[in-house]
Amino acid sequence: MVGIRISPLNRKLLRDLLLMKGQAIAIAMVVAAGVAMNVMYLSTFESLRGTRDAYYSRQRFADVFATLKRAPQRVGDEIARLPGVSAVDTRVSAAVTLDLADVNEPATARLVSIAPDHRPPVNDLFLRRGRWIEPGRPDEVLVSEGFVVAHHLAPATRCQPSSTAGYAA
């Protein structure tokens, strides 16, 4: 019969390891918890990235934004012809002061134009309630959900001088 020869140094190592088996188990558990946390982090990160990419794709969210003052429409046409550009949507945007009856200090808003006859090709809005603006109805607007909740409005609420068709998130 052939026996395994263990050197005296390895025998001492095994004896010391058996004496501190509780510490060895604790260290192994800490390492296992670290590995588990890393796996959970990576899977959560990938899930969030996938959710973000799906939302951006569904709402046709733009990869690049540019702000210009007083640019002619031909600039948008030139950008659309650039290689790699799949869609361009030019809009007019302005900051305005709102005069609200239930607010003591002046409130500001950002007005952004949208085409009345079609949904935007990029940066589409997600309507939480209500409907899209109808063509030929200049008295309709889309407002943020936070504004609607803060001012106790509902879709089709008539405000002076305009009304809200729906509100976006």
Residue 2 forms part of a structural domain: no
Residue 81 forms part of a structural domain: no
Residue 64 forms part of a structural domain: no
8 Å CB contact between 122 and 114: no
Number of domains in the chain: 2
**One domain for residues 159 and 102:** yes
Residue 65: what are its φ and ψ, rounded to 5°?
A: -120, 145
pLDDT digits (tens, 9 = 90+) for 137-168: 777 888 888 888 887 877 777 765 444 455 45
Residue-averaged pLDDT of the chain = 83
User: CA nearest 147: which of 74, 98, 113?
Assistant: 98
Q: For the chain, what is the radius of gyration of the CA atoms?
A: 31
Residue 131 forms part of a structural domain: yes
Rounded to two decimals, the pTM is 0.55
Residue 24 forms part of a structural domain: yes
Domain assignment of residue 96, given as a range: 91-168
Q: Is the peptide bond before 72 cis (omega within 30 degrees of 0)?
A: no
pLDDT digits (tens, 9 = 90+) for 57-100: 888 888 888 888 888 889 889 988 999 888 888 888 888 888 77
